[in-house]
Each structure stands twice: as structure tokens, then as C-alpha cells.
Amino acid sequence: MNGQKIRRAVSGLTVWVLASAVLGGQTAGRSGGPPQTEGAQIQQVRVALGHGQAAEARRLAAAIPGAAGRDFASALVDIFEGKDHEARPKLEPLARVNIVGDAALELGLLEIRHGEREQGWRRLDPIAAVRTFAGPDDYYRLARAARGIHEYLLANDAYNKVQNVARADIQAEWGDMQLQRHKPEEAGPSYRQALAADPAWIPAMVGLARALVDESPEQADALMVKAQKQAPNDPNVWLFAAEQQIQREDKKGAVEALDKLAAARPDTVDEFALRAVVAYANHDAAGVEAALAKLATIDKRSALGLRRLGEQSAREYRFEDAADFARKATAHDPDDPFAFFDLGLYLMRTGDEAGARLALERSWKLDNSSKATKNLLDLLDDIDARPNAVSPMETITSGDLILKFSRKQAAVLKTYAVPLAEEAMKTFTDRYQFTPKGPILIEVFPAHDQFAVRTMAFPGIVGALGACFGQVVAMDSPTARDPGEFSWQATLWHELAHVYTLQLSKYRVPRWLTEGISVFEEHRRQPAWGRELTLEFADTFGRGRNFGVRKLPDAFKDPSKLALAYFEASLLVEHLVALNGDAGLRTLLLAYGDGARDADAFARAFGKSVDDVETSFKAFLDQRYSALSKALADPPSKVDPANLGALRLRAQEAPGNFASQHALGVALVKAGQLNEARAPLERAAQLAPEASGDDSPHAILAVIAEKSGDTARARRELRALLTHDHANVNAARKLASLSTDPSAGADLDFALRLVADLDPFDTNVHGQLGRRLFAEGQYQPALTEFRAALALGPPNLAEAYTDIGETLFKLGRTPEAKRQTILALEQAPTYVRAQDLLLAILGKH
Amino acid sequence: MRRLLTWSLCAVAIALAGVRPAAAQARFAVIVQGASGDPQYATQHRGWVDGLAKVLRERLGIDGAHLFLLTEEARAGELKSTAENVKVTLAGIAKTAKADDLVFVMLIGHGGGDGPAAKFNLVGPDLTGEEWSALLQPISARLAVVDSTSLSFAYLAGLAGKNRVIITATGKFGEKYHTFFPEAFITALTATEADADKNGRVSLLEAFTYASRLVAQHYEQVGYLSTETAMIDDNGDGKGRSAAQTGDDGPVAALTYLDAVAMPTSSDPAIQALLTRQQQLTEQVDDLRRRRAAMTPEEFDRDFEKLIIELATVSRDVRKRTGK
């Protein structure tokens, strides 16, 4: 069936305006006098349904004088209420009279809903082939028919023709199609346009809530509250409510919502697909089977139940299971492009990129209009370095690790990433006494949007730096963001910790725990990592707005709280480790893996109740953050930032208040009183040494010291700043530039190391750092730096090869040393240093 | 394909056969500072002229009598950079310079005009590309021309020829903005880092490569997209290549130096024998490197290793005996 489909477009064809409209006149949401035509009367029924007023719609339908119009309108209400069996006999005679009319459309869609796909497609095909348009209804009818037969581009063309029409029904359905096709950013405006045309249009409210739920859950909730209030029995409302409860792991709430859906619109595939999901979440295999069996009685061709189960498995980070469900879905409905897309997406998350490509190519064949599918296939072309790849990648294997980097970046990144990943694996294997299932695939993308596509199939997720799917890690490379914006090494460490927590817990670890452990592991590897939000947290804590043990899981569901939730989770993990060591943490993960709930898991791991831990955690936070949070309190009074006298007075009155000291210091600097600025800034630095950025006390003190010629002091301040502000590459570069004095070797080493870590594509740093490490006898790290320098295209190849050869010789790797030295001499045959090295390697001293 | 490769290699070999020890060469240098059009550029361009003249005289040992400065505001010993003075100067050099000599010309200033018709801006009427070509034609010496201005790309094809190294600051007709290349090139002529083959000298190819690197770094540091791509042509086809590209251009420039180094000699026969052997080995290594494309990697590695070990040994012995 699909193989015979031909891409058709509305645009470009001659538009014939019919003299008489079939259903003209009233538009959805438009109020006015009594309806003049049958079409307008039917439209009133549609409007009532759009407002969730089924009874009113029924009343309006019954009042239509003409039998045909009355039957059709009545069928619309039947469909709304899930009474397809009653709608069908009303629609069939009307569809025979006009095979391209509204009744035929509704009947075709009804047939597809009930698995009579060929019949439904045959009925919709002529409607989608119509090219005579008298008004928006004709485009709308064509769009719905085209969508029904998976002609999405055609449907979109038709919707585009009516994009400025103020019709809530049209715009909301266009939004639905965009949402179905993973385009919430395009669906949102359509829904908003629908609500502008009719603020009471329930499908638009529900649709907009769906589009916003990830980005702005508060707005989504507000829309749903409004929708439920206006239309408490609308099935669309309860369907979305059920989806939401499932997302929020509220299975009881989900069942309640599904019951309400069933009452409003019984026997839908949507309902039973979600009932299967709830049963799956409850580990109720029989319930899953029962729900799927019931779904099959409605539409035996539908793979929706299996797809939903795949989504739920993926939500639970069980990507193997998700792929299994998606695979079953593709077998069940080989014409469903979404099922193949899901399979491709999940297989990418399991690391089976070859299998993913096959599935995605099949999806593309079924629907070559899907941006999501194209994104993933394009990315796979890059990953597989196909000839048409835009940014081909290179694969490096190390034991159980498979690392993929952009070909242009591989030479540099592998010198850093491979040893770091190996170190992480060894550290975590020892710490958690667990060897994860491999291979572990690590993909490092040079552009953030590539990472986003790898993760979600679409560009975006700007806040995310990396993702772990258990055996697959995807992340931003240092070039994906501006230097200094993040530490890519901390990200790699973080994501690899997830490999252990996910696998050790059989993918059942709660999000707060896996994120908390990953952030805490960052901190263990490097004290400044994972502690970037210390001041923000202390401030929040001081205001009593932190989450605590019980509320932490919910904080992870709110994007606005996410950053602090990560931070507090890491503190909780630190506290848990203090309670019972790494063994306790491991036990906790195993307990969750066994399906234990919090109370049981905490008891097994720490011998304490959740409340006990809540109490001890509070004490832990008090002990650590009370002083800092006190220092970060609001200043005692508001003062004009230019009024030095008032600022001085306030600073004297509040010596323990960071803001008061800092504001005075900043004002004095602005006034050119650098010497006077030192004292309040020093005080501020003592009160909150974790303050970071160019306006932090240490950063300003460094500037003052440099201006006054006190380079040693400037270096001290920068070192203090970088102790916490670990990703501040500009401060590190500044420190390096101030460390030319031989006595500043330690500072220079520190600064160069940090610059090389944060911005490994800095062409100047590696050779310099390598030479310092070599001079200190640190040959292996020096080799890493020299190799990175070579990979970046050094100004002098002969020197670069000789550096490497010399280091390899020191490491006793004589054959490699000789090879590198000869490479140097190929560049520069008379290069004395290389000649002497060659002779030394050959023992010809 | 194979025939073409053979021809190409022969062409390189012929070109290189003309190279002889620099010490016997006479070296001429002409610096032409064009019309600046703006006091800021006048100062900058004059600074480059003075800097380059100093490098040529003091670091690279160009005889003052062979150094010609044609400037916007001529000082004592200089000529105004008019078309007429350019003609007179180049005609004079053409009469003096012999086939084995080297003539280096560097243009500093602005380019003007459009596309292939672009010209270097002199004081007063400009010279067309054809006129420049005609003026240079009588010079039988190896010719190295560096047009360091915007829109200089037009001169790459216009001046290219056998036994010539042509370097332009820009690589497209559209690159019309003021260039950073002159400063980078003058720096490169004496930069230790530019000496890629570590022989203590900077060839024109090394200067070109290093200057191109400095230009790229300059634009990175100022945060602008680069508006200049320097090109080099030394195979005479006028197509050239940038430093980032590979191609046939480079072998002649790699063996063209603005300085002169006398062959070391010794009155001690044993040391002289070593020096002679060192020179022979160096030439054999250079020859081997040139023949590399026609060899298998294994053959090259084997022969190279043998030669380079001996060269290293002899060089060490020379140093031991001479203390240098």
C-alpha cells in the first residue's frame, strides 16, 4: 500500500473555487446569530465538541432539520464519545452519496481506527486527491485525509494554505500533527493560534500542554487545570492526564485518569495502550497481555500498545526492552514509520548503530518527510564516516571502550579522553565492585546539535552536556561550547559513572541517586568539579528552599529546579557515603535493582529509615553550609551602588555579609581607589571563597595586584579563584601569562595543565606544557602533551617529532623513539638535536 | 597517469638542477612602498619597509648597493615609488643580475581595481600586470616576488614563470581588504620557529608557510573571519597553492634563501674530509627526499635511515672536532 504512495502537493496546483460550498459559513469559535445553513449548524456541533460539551453537541445535532446533516452531526458526537459502532451506520450512506465529503472522511478515519486500514485508505485517498478548494474546510478536509494515509507533506501543504485562518479546529489539528511528528516547537504556535481564535478550545489547550510539558511544566499544568475545569468529562483531557501521571510515576493517578477517559470515550486504543503501560510499570505481565488483547479487539493492526510500552521502557532506561517492544511493534505493523523510528532510536541508545540504521532507513522509506528520522540518519552517516558525511567520525578502541570523535578532533581528544575513560572505568569498577556489560560506546560530538540529535533526534537540549544510556555515552566535545563554559572531562567522568549506577541497579536507580552519584564522583575525581553551584545552593539553603531527601525526586521533574537538584543530590550521596561508605551506596543500588522502594532500600543500605536520613542530612547541611549561607544573606540595607560613604558604612556594620563587602570593593575599584578596595574584597573572598567569575573577589583582587605590579599576588589570587572556578579558561590563561618568572613554575604548570584540559585545541599550550613535564621527569604526561601538540599542527614539525622521540626514549620505548626521530629528520635532516637523539637511541654516543 | 607523474618529476628535477650554493650568488632586493592613501597606513607601511630593509641588510646580509627602496615619501638614497622609477630600477637590475643570482621584489601597500585587472597602487599612474611582467622579463636571475597587498592574487598568474617564486597575500579576486601578511612575512624571515627543517636558515617556502600561520592566528585572535589567503607559485603555472594545500608548488621556494651562507671549510684535511662528506650526505638526503614519490615507503625508509645515520654521525664528528 505504501509503496504505491506518490508524494503530492497542494501548492502549485490550480485552485478551483467552487460556486457552492459544502460546509461553509460559521467558523469554530465564532459566535453570532442563529445558523443559516446546515453546514453552519454542523459547525456549531463541532464547536460544542471542541469545548468539551458533548451533551450540548448532542442537543444541537438533534435540532438540525435535515436528516443528512442531523445524522452526520450525530455521528460526530458518537465519535467524540467513543461510540464508533453507532457512528458508522450514520456515516456510511452519506459517504456513498459524496465520496469526497466530510462523512467519507470521518468514516475513513473510523475504519482506520478499527484496523480496516485498506478500506479506510481507499476511502481517504480520493479525498486527499481533491484539488478544488472553496474555502478553509476543503483544505482542512484534505489535510486530515492526507494525514490519515500518512501523506504528511501533503497534509502540511494543505495546513499551510490555511495557516492564517482563525479556526481553532484547523489550527489545533495542525498542532496535533506537528506534535505527533516530534515538533513541539512548531506545534506550540499552532495551538496558540487556535486558542487565539477560540480560547475555550479544549484540544488546543491539551495540545499546548503536551507541547510545553518538558519545557515548562508549570504552564502545562495550568492549561490542564483550566481544561479540566471547563470540560471535566472531555476524553482528550483525561488521556493527557493519564500520560502525565505515568510520566510522574503516579500509577494510581494514571489508572484514575484512564477510568475517566474510559467513561468519556470507551474502547480506544489510546486507553488500552496506556493501561498496558501501567501494568508494565507494575511488573504485571498478565495485565500487559490483557490490555494488549483488549486493544487488539479495537484495532488488531495497531502497534500503539507496543510502542507505548517501548516508550515506558525507555523512560525507565531499559533500552534493550524498549528496542524489543519497538521490534515487536514493527513486526505487528510493518507500515508504521513511527514504530521503525522508535526502534532506530532505541537501538542507538543500546549502541547497536548498525541495527538502528536499518530500522531508520525503513522508517524513512515509509515516511520520507520525518525530520527526526533524517536527523538520525544524517548523524549515523557522520558516525559511520560515510562518503556523504558532513562531519565524519573516527573510531578508537581501547579494551571494552569504543570511542568516536570527529575525525578532525580525534588526534587531540583521544590523547586525553582514552586515558581518562580508562581511569574512570578502573576507578568505578574498583569502587562499586562491578564490571559493567560492554562494550561501552562513547561518542563525543564537535557540535552540540549533533549531541542533541544523538540523544533526542532533534537539535536543542541546550542545558545538557552529556547523556548516558547504560552502555552508550554521548557528549559535547570541548568545541561544542565556548571555551570555559564547561569541563568536558568532568562531563565524561560524570557520564561514565552513570554506566555503573544504571547497570548495577538493573536500570532501576532513581534519577536523584544516579545523578547524585555522578556529580559526587566528579567531585571525588577533582574537588572543584561538581561544586559549581555552591553559592547558589548555600543561598537556597539559607532561605530554607532546599529539597531534602523526600522532595528531591520531585525536584528532578521540574526543569527550573534541576540544576540545584543535581547539586543537592550530590551532597546527599556524599552524606550517604559518610553514613556507610561506598559499600552502603553499592547496597543501595543493588536494593533498587531488586525492586526495593526507598524505605526498604535505605534500611538495607544504611540501617536507617528515610526520615532518619532526612534528619541526619539536614544536620550535615547545617554543619557545612550554615556559615556560608549566613554570609550570603541579603545585605542589611539597600544602598546606592555609587554612594561610597553609604557602602562603607554598611560594610562596617555588616562585616560578615558578602554582598556588603563585595559591593564596597567593586565601587572602590570603579572609583579608582584600588588600594582601598583590597580590604573589603579580601573580606568578601574569605566569606565566600567559592565565588567565581570575573566579578568575584579573587578575580578583582588579581586585577588590582597586576595593575599595581604585584605579579606574585595576582598569581595567588588567580590560583585561589581557579581552585573553585575550575572551568575559567581565561583566568587560567592569565595565570600562565603572569607565570613567566622562573620562580612561578608551579603556577605555570597549574595554569598550562588547566588550559590544556579545558581547551585542548589551544595550539600553543601543549608543547609548552610537555616541555615542562619533561623537565620534571614526568615523561608519560609529557608524551600525552607532545602528541596533542603534534595533532594540532605545530609550527615546527621537526621539533614536535623530536619532542615525542625524546620522551619515548626516556620511557624506554626505543623502536617508537627511533621512528619519531627519523620522522623529525625527514623534516629537518640537519637538525642537530634530532641527529644527536638518533645516535643516542642507536647507542652511538 | 603514470606518464604525467614522470613528466612532473622531471620538471622538478630540471628546476632544481639550477640551484647552486648561495655563497656564489649575488642578491638584489627591491622594496616598493605604494601609495598609502591614509596617514595611518602611511606610517604602518613605512614601518614595514624600514623593518624589511633592516632585516635584509643586517640579518640576511644583502649588500646595501643591491638594496633598492622605492617609497611613498623618498628619503636619502631612496626613490619615489612611481612607475617610472620602478621601470628604471628593474631595468638596471636586469642588466646587472646574472642567471645564477637572486632578485627579490616585495610590494607593500594597497591593491586596487577589480578581479584580474587589479593593480598595485604606485605613487602616480600604476603599472598593469602586463607591464610588471614585461619589466621583469629581462631579468635572467631567479626572481622572487612578494606582492603583500590586498587584491594581489591577480599577480600570481600574471607574474608566474620558470625560475620564479611568486607569493601573493591574497588567494581570491574578492580578497580586497588591507592585509596583515606583510608584517607576518617580515617576521617570518628571521623567526627561529619558521625554520622548519632546522638548518639554521629560513627559505622562502618556510617564510611563506610560517607567515600564513601567523596570519591565521592573527584573525583568530582578533575574532574576525580571515580576509586573506596567501598563495605561492613556483612551478610557473600561475595557479599556486595556499600553505594549507598540497601541490606541486614549493620545491624551488624551499631551496631559495635571501641570505647567503658560505660553505664551511677547514685547513685541517681530516676536518675538511668530514665537511665534504657532510655536504655530500646532505645533498644525497635532499635528493632522496625529492625522489620519495617515486619510491615505495619501504625503499625510502631503508635508504633514508642509512643516510641519516651516517649524516648524524659525521655531523657529530664535525662538531666534536670544530667545537661548533
Give the model confidence (pLDDT) of A159-204 as tens digits: 999 999 999 999 999 999 999 988 888 999 999 999 999 999 999 9
Q: What is the pLDDT of residue A27?
A: 39
Distance CA A169, CA A201 (A): 8
Distance from CA of B230 to the nearest CA of A (A): 17
C-alpha cell at B101: 643570482
Angle between helices A610-631 and A534-542 (to 10 degrees): 100
Total H helices, total E strands in chain A: 42, 5
CA dihedral (A613, A617, A620, A622) positive or negative: negative
Chain B positions contacting chain A at CB under 8 Å are 193-200, 210, 213, 217, 282, 285-286, 289, 301, 304-305, 308-309, 311-313, 315-316, 319
> CB neighbours (10 Å) of residue A335?
17
- Select from A479, A768, A790, A796 the residue whose CB has the most chain B CBs within 10 Å, as the one to mutate to test that interface: A796
Distance CA B189, CA B146 (A): 12
Q: Indicate whether this complex's ipTM tops 0.90.
A: no
Is pLDDT above 50 for A249? Answer: yes
Is there a contact between A648 and A664 (Cβ–Cβ < 8 Å)?
Answer: yes
Cα three-residue angle A334-A340-A341, rounded to 5 degrees: 150
What residue in B sits closest to A796 (Cα-Cα)? B196
Judged by a CB distance cut-off of 8 A, whether residue A798 touches chain B is yes
Judged by a CB distance cut-off of 8 A, whether residue A21 touches chain B is no
Residue B143 β-bridge partners: B103, B164
- Terminal alpha carbon distance of chain B: 48
Distance CA B84, CA B80 (A): 9
Distance CA A606, CA A585 (A): 9
Is there a contact between A428 and A440 (Cβ–Cβ < 8 Å)?
Answer: no
C-alpha cell at B198: 632546522
Three-state secondary structure of B123-173: CCCCCCHHHHHHHHCCCCCEEEEEECCCCCCHHHHHHCCCCEEEEECCCCC
Distance from CA of B10 to the nearest CA of A (A): 22
C-alpha cell at B286: 635532499
Distance from CA of A728 to the nearest CA of B (A): 18
Which chain B residues are Cβ-neighbours of A844 within 8 angstroms?
Answer: 309, 313
Is there a contact between A130 and A100 (Cβ–Cβ < 8 Å)?
Answer: yes
The number of angstroms, rounded, from the C-alpha of A452 to the middle of its chain's C-alpha atoms is 7
CB pairs under 8 A between A and B: 70
Q: Could you tell me the pLDDT band of residue A793, with boundaries at 50, 70 and 90? A: confident
Contact flag B198-A839 (C-beta cutoff 8 Å): no
Distance CA B124, CA A770 (A): 54
Which chain A residues are Cβ-neighbours of B308 within 8 angstroms?
Answer: 822, 825, 829, 835, 838
Q: What is the pLDDT of residue A36?
A: 64
> CB neighbours (10 Å) of residue A590?
18
Residue A39 has phi, psi (to 5 degrees) of -60, -45
Q: What is the pLDDT of residue B223?
A: 67
For residue range A4-41, list pLDDT tens digits in order.
333 344 433 333 333 222 333 333 444 445 546 898 99
Distance from CA of B130 to the nearest CA of A (A): 37
pLDDT averaged over every residue in chain A: 92
The HSE-up count of residue B170 (CA atoms within 13 Å, CB side) is 28
Please list, in sequence order, all residues whose beta carbon lies within 8 angstroms of the beta carbon of residue B134, skipping any fewer than 6 positions away: none
From the list B193, B217, B316, the residue facing A836 with the nearest CB is B316
For residue range A42-64, list pLDDT tens digits in order.
999 999 999 999 999 999 999 99
| Residues B192/B195/B200/B201 CA torsion (nearest 10 deg) | -110
Among A545-549, A673-677, B292-296, the minimum mean pLDDT is found in B292-296
Contact flag A798-B197 (C-beta cutoff 8 Å): yes
Which chain B residues are Cβ-neighbours of A826 within 8 angstroms?
Answer: 289, 304
From the list A795, A834, A836, the residue facing B213 with the nearest CB is A795
Which chain B residues are Cβ-neighbours of A838 within 8 angstroms?
Answer: 308-309, 312
Q: What is the pLDDT of residue A659?
A: 97
The number of angstroms, rounded, from the C-alpha of B79 to the middle of its chain's C-alpha atoms is 24
Nearest Cα to B109, choosing from B46, B50, B185, B33? B33
Distance CA A706, CA A715 (A): 9
| Residues A584/A587/A589/A594 CA torsion (nearest 10 deg) | -160
Q: Which residues in chain B show pLDDT less than 70?
A: 1-24, 223
To the nearest whole percent, how much of chain A has pLDDT over 70?
96
Distance from CA of A795 to the nearest CA of B (A): 7
H/E element, A526:
none
Residue A474 has phi, psi (to 5 degrees) of -125, 140
Is there a contact between A306 and A275 (Cβ–Cβ < 8 Å)?
Answer: no
Contact flag B312-A838 (C-beta cutoff 8 Å): yes
C-alpha cell at A288: 500487559
Region for A352 from its dihedrals, namely left if φ exceeds 0, alpha if ψ lies in -120 to 50, beta otherwise: beta
Distance from CA of A482 to the nearest CA of B (A): 13
Is there a contact between A129 and A148 (Cβ–Cβ < 8 Å)?
Answer: no
To the nearest whole percent, how much of chain A has pLDDT over 90?
87
Which chain B residues are Cβ-neighbours of A795 within 8 angstroms?
Answer: 193-194, 210, 213
Tell the residue number behind the cell numbers 529546579, with chain if given. Answer: A561
Fill in the DSSP letter of residue B178.
P
Please list, in sequence order, all residues whose beta carbon lies within 8 angstroms of the beta carbon of residue A456, skipping any fewer than 6 positions away: none
Which chain B residues are Cβ-neighbours of A835 within 8 angstroms?
Answer: 308, 311-312, 315-316
Contact flag A795-B316 (C-beta cutoff 8 Å): no
CA dihedral (A815, A817, A823, A825) positive or negative: negative
| DSSP-derived 3-state class of residue B73 | coil
Contact flag B304-A833 (C-beta cutoff 8 Å): no
Is there a contact between A581 and A649 (Cβ–Cβ < 8 Å)?
Answer: no
The HSE-up count of residue A338 (CA atoms within 13 Å, CB side) is 16
Distance CA A16, CA A387 (A): 46
> CB neighbours (10 Å) of residue A435?
12
- Calculate mean pLDDT across residues A580-605: 96
Distance CA B155, CA B50 (A): 24
For residue range A691-724, list pLDDT tens digits in order.
999 999 999 999 999 999 999 999 999 999 999 9
- Select from B197, B198, B278 the residue whose CB has the most chain A CBs within 10 Å, as the one to mutate to test that interface: B198
Three-state secondary structure of A772-795: HHHHCCCHHHHHHHHHHHHHCCCC
- Cβ burial of A178 (10 Å; 0-12, 13-18, 19+) is buried
From the list A796, A797, A825, the residue facing B308 with the nearest CB is A825
Q: How far is CA A381 from CA A337, A449, A459, in A?
A: 20, 15, 16
